[in-house]
Amino acid sequence: MTAAGERALTPAEQAVATGLAPFRARLDEIDAQLVDLLGERFQICREVAVHKSENEIEMMQPGRVEIVRARYLQHGAEVDLPTDFTAALFDLMIDATCRAEDELMVRLAAGEGRASAFTPPARGKTQTQTRARGSVT
């Protein structure tokens, strides 16, 4: 047993793990980037919620959602993602970000926070580049 309570790998298992290590490292890096980008996307949606609240704009913009969904599905097809996966991921992301946006707008309308408290300072070039790709808000 190892210190963490796991059994030691056999030589064959160690060889497999060693061969997979570069792939796993790349996947770990991509997973971290995905989480960072999703966090950034949620933050932008919070900023949009503040803007919509301040300017009395309806939270849901169905036409915009359909435009972005179509673009998202097209891009997914271009990079060889399965259509059902791309659609499900988009729907999950939009449902979650719209819910977060709606909840924030309700809190702002109820006076439960200042709009500026939800708008962080810019974080640099990566955030700006991501914003240029667009969001569904």
Tokens 């997973």 found at: 31
pLDDT at 38 over 60: yes
Domain residue ranges of the chain, discontinuous segments joined by +: 11-132
pLDDT at 104 over 60: yes
pLDDT of residue 121: 42
pLDDT of residue 5: 73
Mean pLDDT taken over the chain: 85
CA distance 34 to 32: 5
HSE-up of residue 87 (Cα within 13 Å, Cβ side): 5
Residue 6 pLDDT level (bands cut at 50, 70, 90): confident
Q: In the 8-state DSSP scheme, what is residue 30?
A: H
- Is 3.40.50.2300 the CATH number for 11-132? no
Residue 96 pLDDT level (bands cut at 50, 70, 90): very high
pLDDT at 123 over 50: no
Q: In the 8-state DSSP scheme, what is residue 10?
A: P
